[in-house]
Amino acid sequence: MDFAIPESVRPLLAKARAFVDEKLVPREIAWLAAPFKSLEPELAALRAEVKRAGMWLPQAPRELGGVGLGLVEHGLLSEVLGRTPFGHYAFGCQAPDAGNLEILHKYGSDAQKRQWLEPLARGEIRSCFSMTEPDTAGSNPTELACRARRDGDDFVIDGRKWFTTAADGAAFAIVMAVTEPDAPPHARASQIIVPAGTPGFDIVRNIPVMGHPGEGWASHAEIAYRGARVPQANLLGPAGAGFLIAQERLGPGRIHHCMRWLGICQRAFDMLCTRAATRRLDGDKTLAHKQIIQAWIAEARAEINAARLMVLDAAWKIENVGFAAARVDVSLIKFHTAGVMMRVVDRAIQAHGALGITSDTVLSFFYAHERGARIYDGPDEVHKVTAARRILAAYEGPARSK
Ligand SMILES: Cc1cc2nc3c(=O)[nH]c(=O)nc-3n(C[C@H](O)[C@H](O)[C@H](O)COP(=O)(O)OP(=O)(O)OC[C@H]3O[C@@H](n4cnc5c(N)ncnc54)[C@H](O)[C@@H]3O)c2cc1C
């Protein structure tokens, strides 16, 4: 396997890196302190620049106005964009829209594509994905309680969801609801498009995360579905295929998340090293002279390099062999990379002393808002159990008697 950065993507990576460093990083502290909706005009102007530079929607096919990058290529770009909390948004490949775009493209009817996919791809509207519920275990979505019952030509949806990222201001939600209650557990739920403004689609609140409720794209909402009525034509994909589609949505998404986290790792590592090299402790002696700091730096570098190779290896396997061959790898990178990120950010904060926990650097944002990485798209424990089961299967079975 070849982990050299493909020639085809080098100019784009360099251009994106320059854009991130020159246009986004210098503004991020001010942006993080402001309500998200107040930033939208400035961010829209930057998105227009990204479009003019041919970098918009990097992961999407060209027919949608995207760049059409492959999994490894977009992973490498995602690493560049991950250096700042605004990178993916500026380039139009932010969660949850990127995943929704993918499933609308694959499963949407012509009418759904015209109404929702096309404006989403142009960045004119935003969307959200509404699966997790406060009262049932998100780690086991076969327990979903939200119901969509058929009534004439419509679905009537009742249930309670939370952690619906970016629901505030979204034009539509894709909701996972039980439509086939008598089917086997994995065939009970379907995905249904619910336009914002549908009576009975009520955003109860933006949930405070580590004290910050956020707003707009940078928020996670609790939503009450109270008899929300939508046409059955809003069904996305086949009835009962909700889990299948959700899995497809999460698969490549985990590679993108891991590469984004590696971008965060590299940013925090750069800050750790800069601080170590410049913070004077005693005369000319900087923090970098202390062996304990040197050990953090060496350990962090080793952990980042190792995680990066694991993620690229998994992406390479998915692209060249197929997703089924990479299932264990994807579980391993999901929990491992999230853990590496948390440790590197924590060390960088420690090296900054009190400054590290202020909002004067981006580190405290990463510490608070990336902690969720160990929970969403499968908590650490679920991935560990899943990977271990698959690994152990090769050692178990009647044939193995010794
Ligand atoms: C920042 C963030 C954004 C999110 N965005 C969205 C979104 O846009 N849309 C959406 O629908 N959801 C979203 N979620 C929700 C996320 O998908 C769920 O939080 C996740 O699936 C876990 O479900 P839960 O919170 O109900 O935890 P639970 O299922 O209650 O699990 C709680 C804990 O139990 C442990 N655990 C669970 N299962 C096992 C097991 N099999 N073995 C051992 N231990 C186990 C784990 O430690 C886990 O963290 C988001 C979450 C976060 C943090």
Task: Report the CATH number at residue 137.
Answer: 2.40.110.10
- Of 204, 236, 268, the one marking the end of a domain is 236
Around Cβ 11, how many Cβ atoms within 10 Å? 9
pLDDT above 70 (res 58): yes
Mean pLDDT across 33-47:
97
180 lies in the same domain as 218: yes
Residue 269 in contact with residue 301, Cβ under 8 Å? Answer: yes
366 lies in the same domain as 258: yes
Mean pLDDT across 25-45:
98
370 lies in the same domain as 272: yes
Confidence of residue 401 (pLDDT cuts 50, 70, 90): very low
Mean pLDDT across 184-194:
97
CA angle 372, 373, 376 (to 5 degrees): 75
Mean pLDDT across 55-78:
95
Q: How many domains does the chain have?
A: 3
136 lies in the same domain as 93: no
Q: What is the pTM of this model?
A: 0.96
Confidence of residue 398 (pLDDT cuts 50, 70, 90): low
Is 140 part of any domain? Answer: yes
The CA-atom distances, in angstroms, between 320 and each of 16, 249, 310 are: 26, 19, 15
| Of the candidate ranges 270-279, 340-349, 393-402, the one whose mean pLDDT is the lowest | 393-402
The pLDDT assigned to 400 comes to 54
pLDDT above 70 (res 289): yes
Q: What is the DSSP string of 258-324?
A: HHHHHHHHHHHHHHHHHHHHH-EEETTEEGGGSHHHHHHHHHHHHHHHHHHHHHHHHHHHHHHT-GG
Decide: 253 in ligand 1 pocket, CB within 6 A: no
Decide: 210 in ligand 1 pocket, CB within 6 A: no
Mean pLDDT across 21-38:
98
Q: Which amino acid, residue 149?
A: R
358 lies in the same domain as 325: yes
Confidence of residue 76 (pLDDT cuts 50, 70, 90): very high
Quick: pLDDT tens for 337-352: 999 999 999 999 999 9
Is 57 part of any domain? Answer: yes
344: which 2 tokens?
């590197």
Is 401 part of any domain? Answer: no
The mean of the pLDDT values for the chain is 96
329 lies in the same domain as 312: yes
Q: Which atom of ligand 1 is nearest to the CA of 95?
A: 8
34 lies in the same domain as 132: no
Is 92 part of any domain? Answer: yes
In which domain, by residue range, is 13 found?
Answer: 7-102
| Of the candidate ranges 18-32, 131-145, 243-257, the one whose mean pLDDT is the lowest | 243-257
The pLDDT assigned to 118 comes to 98
Asked, as a colleague might, if the bond just before 195 is cis with ω within 30 of 0, I would say no
Decide: 142 in ligand 1 pocket, CB within 6 A: no
The CATH number covering residue 40 comes to 1.10.540.10
227 lies in the same domain as 253: no
The pLDDT assigned to 158 comes to 98
252 lies in the same domain as 382: yes
- Of 236, 264, 297, the one marking the end of a domain is 236
213 lies in the same domain as 294: no
The fraction of the chain above a pLDDT of 90, given in percent, is 93
CA gap 254, 70 in Å, rounded: 14
Residue nearest to atom 53 of ligand 1 (CA): 372
Is 402 part of any domain? Answer: no
Q: Would you tell me the crossing angle of helices 327-351 and 242-278 to the nearest 10 degrees?
A: 30
184: which 2 tokens?
């086997």
Decide: 376 in ligand 1 pocket, CB within 6 A: yes
251 lies in the same domain as 389: yes
Quick: pLDDT tens for 236-263: 999 999 999 998 877 778 999 999 999 9
250 lies in the same domain as 227: no
Testing ligand 1's pocket by substitution, the residue of 375, 381, 384, 385 carrying the most ligand atoms inside 8 A of its CB is 375
Around Cβ 105, how many Cβ atoms within 10 Å? 17
